[in-house]
Chain A
Amino acid sequence: KNEVEQSPQNLTAQEGEFITINCSYSVGISALHWLQQHPGGGIVSLFMLSSGKKKHGRLIATINIQEKHSSLHITASHPRDSAVYICAVSLAEGSNYKLTFGKGTLLTVNP
């Protein structure tokens, strides 16, 4: 079983819709990252969370340490949000950035 599970694997939405992508993990972690990978492969770090909630523009990330669960929300989605969103965790016993990755969620936002 993968230590980091994401759902859904694929998500198609209409422009303007509210998007939620979920991430569950099975081990103790020191931090969780949400990453965005555009076609062509480049990856951008969106958030690093160890507790609570963070917001950046239309993106909101939350984490519940007790439930080992995190969500990434996109408000008022736009076609330019189309990308693969990847959840990754730093294991509690590992060095800070030895990340374990989920397989990603492919988001397509149609105009």
Chain B
Amino acid sequence: SQTIHQWPATLVQPVGSPLSLECTVEGTSNPNLYWYRQAAGRGLQLLFYSVGIGQISSEVPQNLSASRPQDRQFILSSKKLLLSDSGFYLCAWSRGEKLFFGSGTQLSVL
């Protein structure tokens, strides 16, 4: 079956600390991969998407970066977190008409 794993579920980090969120997909190959952020009271915003290994497109200038070291692995990173990076981060994958979301990571930057 096709599944998507995202961790951790919650994370509290101090301002200026690094970040690494990981997402892995099972049961499919060569998926499109996505990182979204959902700020409180706002809709989902696309941060990054990837159509293949090493191919990353950024939608919004920001303090974050993404990498895809393997076909089914997508990583969201930051060298130094800002308060404004707080939010709910969702990983997703798609192939054809299939679209699946991870369970999300609630990030609080203090």
Report which A residues bind B (CB closer than 8 A): 2, 4, 33, 35, 40-45, 48, 86, 88, 95-99, 101-104
Contact = CB atoms under 8 A, between A and B. Distances in A.
Nearest to B49: A98
20 contacts: A2-B43, A40-B104, A41-B38, A41-B88, A41-B90, A41-B103, A42-B102, A43-B92, A43-B104, A45-B99, A45-B101, A88-B44, A95-B49, A96-B32, A97-B32, A97-B99, A98-B49, A101-B44, A101-B45, A103-B42
Interface of B: 32, 34, 38, 41-46, 49, 51, 59, 88, 90, 92, 94, 97-104, 106
A97 B49 contact: yes
B101 A44 contact: yes
Contacts, number: 53
Contacts of B32: 95-97
Which of A4, A41, A45, A86 has most chain B Cβ within 10 Å?
A41
Contact of B90 (A43, A97, A103): A43
Given A86-B43, A104-B43, A43 B101 contact: yes
A33 B99 contact: yes
A42 B51 contact: no
Contacts of A97: 32, 34, 49, 94, 99
A43 B88 CA distance: 12
A95 B94 CA distance: 12
A102 B43 contact: yes
A96 B43 CA distance: 19
Nearest to A102: B43
Contacts of A33: 99
A101 B45 CA distance: 7
Contacts of B103: 40-42
